[in-house]
Chain A
Amino acid sequence: MKNRSLFKSREFSIASMLSALTVVLSFLEGMLPELPVPGAKLGLANLAVMTAIDILGIKGAVCTVLVKSFFAAVTRGPAAGIMSFCGSMLSAAAMWLFLRYDKNMFGYVGIGVIGAVGHNTGQLCASFAIMGSAVLYYAPFLVVSAVLTGTFTGIINSILLPAIKKSEKYNIS
C-alpha cells in the first residue's frame, strides 16, 4: 500500500514537471521568429508531450495537453486555447496509439511526423469549425511543415527518450 502511494506521487510529479515544460516550451517557441508558412510552428512543446506519453501513457499526456491549452487560452485568448487543445489532443492521441501499438514499426522520426500531422489536422478542424472552408487552403502547407517539424522533434526525441529511460528506471505505465 505504501509503495502504491509512492508510485502515484512519483507519477504525479513527473506529469506536473512535463506540463510545466510544455508551457515553457510553447512560450520559448513564441519568441522565435515566424516560420515562412503562415500559422506554422516548430512544435517544441510536442517534445514534452511525447515524453509524457512514453513515460506515463495517455493519462500523463492528457494532463500536459490540458495545462498547455489552458496556458494558451489565458495568454493568447480563447480561440488560441481551443485551437491548441484540438491540435494537441489529436496529436497526443495519435502518438500514443502508434507508440503503444505499432510494435516499433515506425521510428521516433515517424512518430514525430504523425504527432505533427495530427496537431495540424486538429488545428485545421478547429479553425474549419470557426471559419468555414476558407482555411482548407492552408492544408498542403501545413502537411509539409508538419513533415519538417515532425522530423526535427523526432530526431531530438530519439536522443532524449532512451537517455531519460536509461537514467531513471521509470517502470510506470
Chain B
Amino acid sequence: MNNNARKRVTVFDFLLIGFLIALTVGFVYFEGKTADGDLEVVVKKNSQVVLTETLKYVSEKKEICIDEDLDLILCLESDGVSVTGSNCPDKVCVNTGKITKPGQTIVCLPAHVSIELRGQDIEADVVVG
C-alpha cells in the first residue's frame, strides 16, 4: 500500500522525545522552586479533607488508619509521610514509599484517598490587592 514503508526511527521521533523530556525537565524545575516552609500533610478522601497535620509538631512516629475497609495505614513522622499498609490490590500507595518534599503525593485509587504534602508558604500563592 505504502511505497515507502514506515521506518523504525526517524528524526521526528527524536524531536518528539526531546520535546517531551524538555517539558518534563521544565516542569520539575519549576516544581522544585516552590518554597518549603513547615510541611503540612493534607489527607483527602473522596475529595473531602479528612486530616491535616503539621509535621513539625509530630514528635514521634504515629500510625493512623484512614480507611477501615482497606486497612489503609498512614504513618506520620517528623520528616515525612508514608503508607505502611493497605489491602488494596495494586499497592501503588505502599510502593510510593515515604514522601518528604512539598508537592509530593501518595494516591490510593481504590480507597479514593490522596495524601499530599504542602509547604505552608504555598498557601499564599495568590495574593489579591
Which are the 10 A-B pairs with shortest beta-carbon distances? A110-B13, A134-B114, A158-B8, A137-B105, A107-B10, A107-B9, A140-B24, A107-B7, A38-B96, A134-B105
Chain A: how many interface residues by the 8 Å CB criterion? 39
Could you list which residues of chain B lie within 8 angstroms of chain A, going by C-beta atoms?
Answer: 1-2, 4-10, 12-13, 16-17, 20-21, 23-24, 27-28, 31, 44, 47, 89-90, 92, 95-96, 103-105, 107, 109-110, 112, 114-116
Q: Whose C-beta in chain B lies nearest to the C-beta of A99?
A: B6
Q: Are A155 and B8 in contact (CB under 8 A)?
A: yes
Q: Mark A91-118, 1 if CB is under 8 A from B, else 0.
A: 0000000000000111111110110010
CA distance A60 to B122 in the complex (A): 48
Does A131 contact B112, Cβ atoms closer than 8 Å? yes
Nearest residue (CB) in A for B103 is A137
**A interface, CB within 8 angstroms of B:** 34, 38-39, 76-77, 79-80, 83, 104-111, 113-114, 117, 127, 130-132, 134-135, 137-140, 143-144, 146-147, 151, 154-155, 158, 162, 173
Q: Dominant SS at the A interface?
A: helix
